Structure 1
Amino acid sequence: MIGLPKPRLRQARIVAVAAAGLLTASVLVAPPSSAQVTSQAPTAATNTIPGVDEIVSSPNIRLVTNLPKVAPLDATNSDLAFQGKYAFAGNYNGFVVYDVSRPSSPQVVSRVLCPGSQNDISVYGDLLFLSTDSSRSDDSCNSTAQGADVKESWEGIKIFDIRDKANPRYVKSVETACGSHTHTLVPGKDKKTVYVYVSSYSPRANFPDCQPPHDSISIIKVPVKTPTKAAVVATPNLFPDGGFEGSETGSATTGCHDITAYPSKDLAAGACMGDGILMDIRNREAPRVINRVRDTTNFAFWHSATFNNSGTKVVFTDELGGGGAATCNEEVGPNRGADAIYDITGRGDHRKMVFRSYFKIPRTNADTENCVAHNGSLIPVLGRDIMVQAWYQGGISVWDFTDSRNPKEIAFWERGPISNEQMIGGGSWSAYYYNGYIYSNDIAKGFDVLKLSDWRTWTAELVRYQELNVQTQPTYLGGW
């Protein structure tokens, strides 16, 4: 979510305990609770808008369970990460650790209070990383909102030790220019280091720690065994020419919104507001842009990227309206607020991204529903390119882009509008496939688990991940 424009000052709703010695966070351990399942009414895809909170879906996908949000983590839900039997769910007030060893009955292991939007989240071994992109009074978990025009204000990356999932321990912070809207983990080739590519944007002349032009990203080097030594080691300029200048319909490039890395192929794709870029990341501390594309006709805000498994395609999303507008309607049409599919042609530094087609969910949403292309992941299917994707109140879509020129939806699931009377933000922020199930972090409704049963995706059942951060793409089944 981009927030149009990104606020630099937010009122914290929850205050955690103060740091003492090593940085600490307030952890609440919740007793097991019975999951609530909303009744489901499978239907064919039509332009009939479901009623308030009514669930509709294609016959091949069903809701397994839902865990509603509870105080104090009842703020906006954000991204997801996975490790073993655990799911880690970001929230603007902190994060939740779930035990999903029984997907039909997830259990809350811990709730960590640490306010700071968006709390974009990822995990690596014993470490958990959180992005803070709201200007805070300090780097602790009991900070308060403070203007970015104050030099002492803080934004950046927080690092937790998660060896004890019931008691995550805050151990390190790293301040980064313009904060951290999102971040991407890139394992070092020595296996002793992990790099954090930090994406941020929206500089202003009166922000001491976020000065224009800000055409760069921040790269943090984290020694895995000694994370307290984590530090920024590079701030590569990705746009020496300043990037896209902006237009009436498209955002100017003042940094990147999100980067997806494909470490085994030494590739990364950056969704950078007004530009889509392809990078060579063989040198983890010095990524190189090898190709750049723009869409001045239909794209408003380059939001995120997903490679196919072979690394021969990349899907970019356009977050038209910043995630807070109704764009899945006839007025906006099928090519805006959509996905754009690019084939990657050529080799080495001669690789280029070639546009093939757009994909957008084929259902009309109400004008009171925020709906636009958002976070999704590949489903690890043998021989085909299929992904699941969140569309806020547009729900969850499973679609096949094996034929880059003719993508098609093969499954969908959605709730009806939160309200028929006024715009209330909600819906699926992230929808990811992990070890046989689809997990969704719904902004308003909580943590959803869904099951897809389709002959086209059965080979995904053969794949088991030990760890999954979607913006750090793994190769499955050896690639093809």
Structure 2
Amino acid sequence: MAVLGSIALACTTALVPGAAAADTVPGVDEVVTSDNLVHLANVPKQGAFASTGAFNSDLAFTGDYAIGGNYNGFTIYDISDPAEPQIVSQVLCQGGQGDVSVSGDLVYFAVDYPRADEDCGSPAVSASDPDAFEGVRIFDISDKADPQYVSAVRTDCGSHTQTLVPGDDGTDYIYVSSYSPSSSFPNCQPPHDKISIIEVPKDDPASAAIAGEPVLFPDGGNHDQPGLLLPTQGCHDITVYPERDIAAGACMGDGVLMDISDPLQPEVIERVQDDNFAFWHSATFTNDGKNVLFTDELGGGGAATCNEEVGPQRGADAIFDVKGKVGTGNEPELDFASYFKLPRHQADTENCVAHNGSLIPVPGKDYFVQSWYQGGVSVIDLNNPRRPKEIAYFERGPLSDTSMVTGGSWSAYYYNGHIYSSDIQKGLDVLQVNDRRLRGAENVTYEEFNPQSQPRYKPGRR
């Protein structure tokens, strides 16, 4: 493991609020925003994370720190002053994907590319190697300037994403989502209609181990729908809502609701499909749990799908009503409400599609901030789930006006008064929305935030 510490670089990118009209593509690297949004800062990728192939990925938050995943490891940012974020340390530990969760002094890190063994620095190997490692690595970040590798847990087909499910007894459970099995992969055999659950005793994380491998699709998932990027073989991502004992799974060809009242035995209680969806990617509940928003990663995140040709109903969000409630005898059902698609067309050299986001905790309201890769970041009013609308945005122009270069906002989340966007190529962006509709959100302060472990806003919480 390589730890690079004490790097304190932040820059504020020149921006022109509202400079590009909704139907105008900004110039290369030009930053534009709506009039009610300010681009406070940008921290470029550094060192071993700076190359084009070292994608920045997901984010998690603890106290005054953001944890940023990268295909080569993770970065810890000091965000105590959001206008001047600083890199505290970088952990070089290759493995691809780099989905992160944080729990106290522990960071969980997803490894989805096979390595020779579980250690940082181990070389890449073929998935046909029976000794190859993929799964979840665990780090101790009690010293933010000097994180320490603790242990790792191998999971079948690796860990494309992982979701923290906090336990009540000093135990964390991690739902590991993975896919793409093959008969030639010893550690990723079909059928792969399951997830892996890792149990982590927080006082002894080195003893973390697989606690279950529940099969979510005992009769098989959606394999036959025309236009699917991949058939349902496992899940891509899961968002849990622990206070409501419910989870939403985005499972490639299927969207599912799960009862997680027993976190070791999640049970699929509702399942939907959509002819307009090519790849069910991620999910977010409204605060009252009465709606859930699923995203469709049409083109796998590498294609230009935010253009007039693709249209407004593909590569979009699908919003569903959740009718019923776990444990009441009236089990939840999903009813389609509407689609939402980024309203500004993007260039044909920009990969753009619906991606990761989170709620903005406005009392009694539902506002959502979402990444769209090179489509940028959008703030969406979800209060009428049948008529969602954008109320603010941030975007850069294409990385190139002649060829496709994969980039843009992988994840955009609201945390303690600001929006943080993990840009694949450009690093960490910090945004501030100034809009009267979002009043009250600034009074909500979380000590820890993992967007796929969705907290419920409670009045008076500070």
* TM, length-normalised to structure 2: 0.96
- Asked if the contact 2:237/2:281 (under 8 Å) is kept, the reply is yes
Q: Structure 2 counterpart of 1:387, which letter?
A: F
What corresponds to 1:28 in structure 2?
A: 4
Q: Distance in 1 between matches of 2:19 and 2:444?
A: 29
* Counterpart among 382, 386, 399 of residue 363 in structure 2: 382
What corresponds to 1:476 in structure 2?
A: 457
1:80 matched to 2:56? The reply is no
Once superposed, which parts of structure 1, at least 4 consecutive aligned residues long, lie more than 4 Å away? none
What corresponds to 1:253 in structure 2?
A: 232
Cα deviation for residue 38 of structure 1 reads 2.8
Q: Distance in 1 between matches of 2:324 and 2:161?
A: 30
Matches within 5 A, 1:85-234: 85-190=64-169, 192-234=170-212
Q: Structure 2 counterpart of 1:219, which letter?
A: I
- Asked if the contact 1:38/1:65 (under 8 Å) is kept, the reply is no
Q: Distance in 2 between matches of 1:244 and 1:168?
A: 41
Describe the superposition over 1:13-43 as per-residue Cα deviations: whole angstroms up to 9, x where unpaired: xxxxxxxxxxxx2111133235243333424
- Asked if the contact 2:282/2:355 (under 8 Å) is kept, the reply is yes
Change (3 A) 1:263 1:82: same
Q: Distance in 2 between matches of 1:34 and 1:125?
A: 26
Change (3 A) 1:130 1:96: same
What corresponds to 2:331 in structure 1?
A: 350
SS at match of 1:184: strand
Q: Distance in 2 between matches of 1:33 and 1:171?
A: 28
What corresponds to 1:326 in structure 2?
A: 304
SS at match of 1:264: helix
RMSD: 1.3
1:403 matched to 2:384? The reply is yes
Q: Structure 1 counterpart of 2:23, which letter?
A: N
Change (3 A) 1:206 1:34: closer
Change (3 A) 1:105 1:182: same
Q: Structure 1 counterpart of 2:122, which letter?
A: S
- Asked if the contact 2:15/2:32 (under 8 Å) is kept, the reply is no
* TM, length-normalised to structure 1: 0.93
Q: Distance in 2 between matches of 1:445 and 1:422?
A: 17
What corresponds to 1:439 in structure 2?
A: 420
Q: Distance in 2 between matches of 1:408 and 1:44?
A: 19
Describe the superposition over 1:337-384 as per-residue Cα deviations: whole angstroms up to 9, x where unpaired: 000000100233621011000001110100000000001010001121
- Asked if the contact 1:45/1:57 (under 8 Å) is kept, the reply is no
What corresponds to 2:348 in structure 1?
A: 367
What corresponds to 1:267 in structure 2?
A: 246
1:312 matched to 2:290? The reply is yes
Matches within 5 A, 1:1-40: 25-40=1-16
Describe the superposition over 1:175-197 as per-residue Cα deviations: whole angstroms up to 9, x where unpaired: 0000000000001122x101000
Cα deviation for residue 276 of structure 1 reads 0.4
Q: Distance in 2 between matches of 1:47 and 1:294?
A: 32
Describe the superposition over 1:94-150 as per-residue Cα deviations: whole angstroms up to 9, x where unpaired: 111010000111111101100111010010011000000001111111111100111
Cα deviation for residue 45 of structure 1 reads 4.7
Q: Distance in 2 between matches of 1:277 and 1:87?
A: 30
- Asked if the contact 1:246/1:253 (under 8 Å) is kept, the reply is no
* Of 29-38 and 271-280, the range deviating more from structure 2: 29-38
Q: Distance in 2 between matches of 1:123 and 1:334?
A: 35
SS at match of 2:441: helix
Q: Distance in 1 between matches of 2:384 and 2:205?
A: 43
**How many matched pairs?**
454
Change (3 A) 1:285 1:369: same
Q: Distance in 1 between matches of 2:155 and 2:79?
A: 33
* Structure 1 stretches lacking a partner, 5+ long: 1-24
Q: Structure 2 counterpart of 1:436, which letter?
A: G
Q: Structure 2 counterpart of 1:376, which letter?
A: G
